[in-house]
Amino acid sequence: MPDQVQLQSDIGALSLSGLGAFSHILAVLSTDNVAPLALIQLEQLGSAFHINGPHAAKVSDSLTRVSSHPVGRLALSIGWRKGDSASLLAQTAGGQAISLLSFCLVNLYTPAATGEILSTLCYKLLPKQFGVASIAQLADAAQLLGGKLGRLGFGNLLAQQAVRVQSVYKSLGMQSPRDLFETSSTESIASVFECLQHLTEEGSIVRIQGTYGIVHILAIILFMFPYDAVVTVESLVIHEGPNRRVMVEIRRGEVARVCVEKELGQPPYLNLPIKSSELHELPIKKPSSFEWQGWLARKLELEFAKYGTLCSQSVLVSCCDILVALARVHRFSAILAGERKVSGTGIWALLGPYPLNRIEQVCQAIFGTIPEHSGAEAKQAWNQFHTTLSEPLGQVECICDKCDISKGWNVEGGSQWECRRFGLWHTVGEVLTAGLYSLLLNAPTSVAISGHFPRK
């Protein structure tokens, strides 16, 4: 019958841009509290970047990992599944690129600063009709995407590059610049990405020079464009991709800048400075997330590099040795009614019938090595730990005149928190605490770990 014929449409075949027509409905029904127009705008922004490398190959799988399953096409018809809005971005190259870009930003900047950077890029790189999402909406979308890609371990790669840069300066007998690990202003990092989008143009070369905040920028480049990058430290090549279109030149005394070169021998097409933030409150995020495999080793390497020294293999082994001693003597405590502290079960008793095997297994996973003196007494293990750490800590400046690592981690005054040597020593103590807790975890290799240790 003619009056029984109805118009139907298959929304399951719609792309993300097609879903823009249903943005108001999806905004109401989406359980992720992320504005659909923000995701649409970010996907358009991502199409300006051509990512490559091993991390880019993992983005699609990471974005589509979900704990729930769709019932037919119900999920598409009413909105996105909880925590799975990002899966729509896995379907396009632009969505994958902006997801990786967002992941890098949320590991280095606060949510507000991340939203500001993305908003600046949208304003500069997109047609004006796409300027519809607010800074807060872009920040929320970036946090969602960053959370989905956490298992890629930005902190692991950041630590590796920090060690490589510091190793070159040590081999040359030169003091590394103090500004290597500074965080560039939001305007500067937006300028870096503004230049990087020119890689989509034939013959364009992006050149990044100087030392200010260069380690963070280097990590972004090697996370998103490793095949395009050539990296030199004081003219020594430490990375060379096959395409050779992004030149990162780390040299002391060089003014930090990023530029785009289109013709050999001609002035740069773009020449933009890289500088610090002028805000009183810096847009620095808490430490980056790490992949479980080797996370404490990378955490130590990164922190040592920030203070101008290197974390040797002997330091990692010594940390494993002291963990064995601590596991033998450390006991959990509980506070009962009336604030009466009661000693509880020791860690050693919680490690199963073969505690040493368990400790070696976990140490291999988180430190990349195993204890060498697992039978040592606690005092002997501490003395060896103190001796091993004295050398690298002695290379770090002390301004409080109170740093005595033989006394452990006692804080004698507020001035110690401003001391570089105590800051590094305090981080070592936090790593050992995290190591003890790690002994009680059965974590898969793909899990992401926050590098932030709350200070009490």
Report whether 141 contacts 102 (CB < 8 A): yes
Q: Is the dihedral of CA 234, 184, 45, 447 positive or negative?
A: positive
Between CA 226 and CA 46 the distance in angstroms is 17
318 with 307, same domain?
yes
Residue 383 near residue 376 (C-beta atoms within 8 A) = no
Mark whether 432 and 303 lie in a shared domain.
yes
What does DSSP say about strands 246-250 and 229-233: parallel, antiparallel, or unpaired? parallel
Secondary structure of residue 331 in the 3-state scheme: strand
8 A C-beta contact, residue 196 and residue 49: yes
In a domain, 440, yes or no: yes
Q: Give how many domains the chain has, as a whole number.
A: 3
Token digits of residue 297: 């080793």
Name 449's bridge partners: 290
Containing structural domain, residue 17: 13-152
User: Does 347 reside within a domain?
Assistant: yes
- Would you give the DSSP letter of residue 250? E
- Residue 295's SS3 state is helix
- Residues 107, 228 within the same domain: no
| Residues 378 and 255 occupy one common structural domain | no
58, 168, 192, 332 from 248: Cα distances, Å: 25, 15, 12, 49
The predicted pLDDT at position 193 comes to 97
Same domain assignment for residues 148 and 172: no
Tell me, what's the pLDDT at 65? Answer: 64
**Whether 296 and 445 share a structural domain:** yes
Does residue 197 sit in helix, strand or coil? helix
Read off the pTM: 0.85
Last residue of a domain, one of 104, 134, 152: 152
Amino acid in position 340: R
pLDDT of residue 29: 38
Claim to verify: residue 345 and residue 398 sit in the same structural domain: yes
Using an 8 Å Cβ cutoff, are 11 and 76 in contact? Answer: yes
From first to last of the 456 residues of the chain, give the pLDDT tens digit: 445 544 444 545 556 666 555 554 454 335 567 777 888 889 999 999 999 999 999 998 888 765 444 444 444 444 445 556 777 788 889 999 999 999 999 999 999 999 999 999 999 999 877 667 889 999 999 998 888 898 899 999 999 999 999 999 999 999 999 899 998 999 999 999 999 999 988 889 999 999 999 999 999 999 999 999 999 999 999 999 999 999 999 999 889 999 999 876 677 788 889 988 776 455 665 678 899 999 999 999 999 999 989 999 999 999 999 999 999 887 766 555 555 554 556 788 888 899 999 999 999 999 999 999 888 888 898 999 999 999 999 888 888 877 888 777 776 555 677 788 888 998 999 999 999 999 998 887 778 888 766 554
| pLDDT of the residue at 208 | 96
pLDDT for res 412: 59
- Domain C-terminal end among 273, 307, 332: 273
On whether both 101 and 214 belong to a single domain, the answer is no
Residue 64 in any domain: the answer is yes
Domain boundary among 273, 304, 336: 273
Does residue 351 sit within a domain? yes
How many CB atoms lie under 10 A from the CB of residue 225?
Answer: 23
Strand 205-209 with 229-233, pairing = unpaired
What are the two backbone dihedrals, phi and then psi, of residue 185, each rounded to the nearest 5 degrees? -65, 160
DSSP 33: -
* Phi, psi angles (nearest 5°) of residue 311: -90, 110
**374 is a domain residue:** yes
* 336 is a domain residue: yes
For residue 35, give the amino acid letter.
Answer: A
Residue 25 and residue 148 in one domain: yes
